Copies of this chain bind each other. A is one copy, B any other.
């Protein structure tokens, strides 16, 4: 254990111990079902509101548990590190947030997550709960990956949870929320890169090694291989490696967009803002209009250094939802 330098007690207790601290730090907003590793909004189920849940492997904090609260998620299921939660957890979450108007599952496109959320939806439907699911697959880097059939779900998940969460808070019904989520998925794209690998506690060593002058372009959020390994360049060059493939994949020219520059966990803010400045410059040059932005560490990969860029087309409807109040552990002043 010593050789991997982590602030943990035991490699087998990382998620369990972290949820204890998370709940203690934010118990005015959330409660945690520790047996099932589900983070609930404290007032769930919220009367008259569609329940919104998500979840996935741990190691991406603040996603998803940090986004449980007013204006975002009603519950989040925490799997072990980089491992899908099981259907039983998702069923507990679904039942715990249902107030009679149905429940939406927000699923990142990884084989295990998709399969388990499908099973949980069937179990919940069998108990009479109206469940629908949407699958986020915004990563333009690769068509299929280690853990995915089709594109991976990455940064867009954060924006989708915020926007759909705000719409649910407004009282929109399940069908409307599904349509909104599908529109967001259709109009959002991401691309990431890594300066270093990340170390899963149970593995004890980095997911991959990069030479001192190498970066991995097109990385996923679990250290999956990307498109290519390259020599490191300036922040301007890195920004171009991320923005170009996104613009090649979907035509954003002339559009208003929300721009999200995300840190992978170990990248300091001082660097993320340098990247954001370059991304903004490139977008302006491509006639893409940034009308809202988010810059910080929101969907991480443990201790990986690196960043990703996400673009989403924005209309007035989305901007109203973007600007709506949100109070979650990951997005507020301390308790």
Contact = CB atoms under 8 A, between A and B. Distances in A.
Given A24-B280, A25-B273, A268-B265, A2 B326 contact: no
A62 B302 CA distance: 20
B332 A275 contact: no
A54 interface: no
B295 A162 contact: no
Interface stretch (A113-121, A138-146, A227-235, A246-254): A227-235
Contacts of A3: 212-213
Interface stretch (A5-13, A41-49, A124-132, A177-185): A5-13
24 contacts: A3-B213, A5-B195, A5-B215, A5-B232, A5-B305, A7-B235, A7-B272, A18-B273, A18-B274, A19-B273, A21-B272, A21-B273, A21-B277, A22-B273, A25-B261, A59-B268, A59-B270, A61-B273, A266-B268, A294-B334, A296-B334, A297-B297, A303-B305, A331-B333
Nearest to A298: B334
Interface in A272-318: 272-278, 280, 292-297, 300, 302-303, 305, 307
B235 A17 contact: yes
A22 B293 CA distance: 11
A76 B215 CA distance: 34
Central interface residue in A20, A274, A275, A307, by most chain B CB within 10 Å:
A274
Contact of A9 (B58, B236, B332, B334): B236
Given A25-B295, A292-B335, A7 B196 contact: no
Contacts of A66: 269
B212 A5 contact: yes
A238 interface: yes
Contacts of A195: 5-7
Nearest to A239: B7
Contacts of A5: 195-196, 212, 215, 232, 305
Nearest to A290: B24
Contacts of A212: 2-3, 5
A192 to B, nearest CB: 12
A271 B333 contact: no
Contacts of A335: 292-294
A69 to B, nearest CB: 11
A215 B2 CA distance: 10
A260 interface: yes
A77 to B, nearest CB: 15
Contacts of A277: 17-18, 20-21, 24
